[in-house]
Amino acid sequence: MKKAHWLLLLPAATIVILDQVSKIWVTRIIASHETVPLISGVLNLVQVRNRGMAFGMLNRTGTDWQSYVLIAATLGAIAIIVFWFARLEEGAHGAVIGLSLVLGGAIGNLIDRIRLREVIDFLDFHIGHYHWPAFNLADSAITVGTLWLAVHLLFFSQAPTKKKKQNEGNRV
């Protein structure tokens, strides 16, 4: 296995494990919809369930079809990540790390969707009465991984060189 494979799989597996362990821990120490202040006025620990997706979109009870759509969408996203990884050039470690974080987060939330038909969220950031929607470690990994990829692609990714293009033309 190439080193880049480990760079994709190890962080992703770590994210999945930390995400699932943290969700189990939260469900054991906090009742559903209970709030435990961690940093007064900024951060609470909560236990909420999200049947939908980001920001509570599609978060409705009694509509099982949405679970299947979100599971299918997540599997599609995972397939795209694996395809993208397979197409990366050797040494594209920055992109691999971003893909790994997104992959780990997607799998972490996918496990919840398959097991529970909903995702457990427990981090509640707020300033005064203005709350960011509750989220979890998988959501954080997806966000950080997406930002990492964007920065990497915008600022650190190099366009193919003229010599490289000529070599590709010679392969035909």
Active site residues: 121, 139
Burial per residue of 52-61, b for 16 or more beta-carbon CB atoms within 10 angstroms, e otherwise: bbeeeebbee
Tokens of 139: 């959501």
52 three-class SS: coil
CB of 120 within 8 A of CB of 133? no
C-alpha closest to that of 38 among 97, 162, 123? 123
Q: How far apart are the C-alpha atoms of 155 and 149, rounded to whole Å?
A: 10
31 three-class SS: coil
- Chain centroid to CA 134: how far? 15
C-alpha closest to that of 111 among 35, 6, 12, 32? 12
